[in-house]
Amino acid sequence: MSRVLTVILNWRTPEMTLKAVETALAAMEGVGGAITVVDNDSGDGSEEQIRAAVEAQGWDRVRVIQAGRNGGFGAGNNVGIRAGLPGGEVPDYVYLLNSDAFPAPETIRLLRDHLEASPRLGMAGGYVGGADGVPHQTLFRFPSIASEFEGAARTGPITRLLRRHVVPLPIPDAPVTPADWSAGCSLMMRQAMLDQIGLFDETFFLYFEETDLCRRAAQAGWGLDYLRNAPVVHIGSESTGMKRWARTPGYWFDSRWHYFSKHHGRGGAVLATLAHLAGGALHRLRCRINGGAVGDPPHFLKDLARHMLSRGKGG
């Protein structure tokens, strides 16, 4: 029987992490494997609270390990993946589950079975929605220079012209849909693929790390499918606080620059940034004329331009 290692990364959300563990345990009923909770150096008593709850509940399929540092999403998950199953055995599949994501009872089994039946697939993700029933955008094309312009401009004629470069894909009605990449809040990965392409690039602290991993997988010939009938309820941004950003943090700009530099070269990163700045300027002009809201965090374009200039100076 194939075995699944479910990895849940905790950073200062112990109650929510324990809820994710509980729902993952139910979803792993009849599925071989184990659950590993990685505490990302929370330093707030989270690890101790989770360990005590796991022991009190008698969850013998769950173990808790300490990352030793907060290296971000990819680095923390890498700790869990490298640890493997209890006893050091290697799983057949790794299932990444956010600490604020709660799979339906059938989700893990369906993702595993789909990969079992499709040897050239490296990954499978599923439908993600909020507790309010609103679908979350988790299905995408790879970013490009053209998509940076389109996404920043947010204008109908430009979107129609560049429709093949629009990054977010519509949530499909079809049971199975191929895609370039899917969000890492609920993503099953084939261990053989990871053995070939490597784990998360730990240069990324947060954001773009799963995009990079999926792109490396695609370059190596591995596909990704989206399963409409493998749902997860996702609260979203609980650890990162993205919904409450007063200003875009530097690590977002760092991750974006690293992604474009890695896959398009340094010149491509500059062109992608210039394209975003141009599209953003058009969007702001339209908002000024029409009286609409810009929708970006304060000073976003200025911060983006400053970041590009600092990188151009070797920063």
Write out the chain's pLDDT in tens, 315 residues: 899 999 999 999 999 999 999 999 999 999 999 999 999 999 999 999 999 999 999 999 999 999 999 999 999 999 999 999 998 899 999 999 999 999 999 999 999 999 999 999 999 999 999 999 999 999 999 999 999 999 999 999 999 999 999 999 999 999 999 999 999 999 999 999 999 999 999 999 999 999 999 999 999 999 999 999 999 999 976 545 565 668 999 999 999 999 999 999 999 999 999 999 999 999 999 999 999 999 999 999 999 999 999 997 655
Q: Could you tell me if 219 and 142 are in contact, meaning their C-beta atoms sit under 8 angstroms apart? A: no
Cα gap 240→253, rounded to integer Å: 15
Q: Which fold has domain 3-135+171-240?
A: Spore Coat Polysaccharide Biosynthesis Protein SpsA; Chain A (3.90.550)
Residue in 52, 5, 29, 86 with CA at minimum distance from that of residue 17: 52
Domain map (residue ranges) of the chain? 3-135+171-240, 244-312
The residue count for the chain: 315
DSSP letters spanning 12-64: S-HHHHHHHHHHHHHHTTT-EEEEEEEE-S--SSHHHHHHHHHHHHT-TTEEE
Specify the pLDDT at position 246.
82
Specify the pLDDT at position 168.
97
Specify the pLDDT at position 236.
75
Sorted by sequence, the CB contacts under 8 Å of residue 304 that are 6+ apart come out as 253, 273, 276, 277, 280
What does the buried/exposed string (b/e) look like for 206-218 if buried means 16 or more CB atoms within 10 Å of the residue's CB? bbbbbbbbbbbbb
271 bridge partner residues: none
Specify the pLDDT at position 239.
47
65 bridge partner residues: 38
Specify the pLDDT at position 312.
72
Strand runs labelled E in the chain: 3-10, 32-39, 62-66, 93-98, 101-103, 121-129, 139-140, 176-178, 181-182, 186-190, 223-234
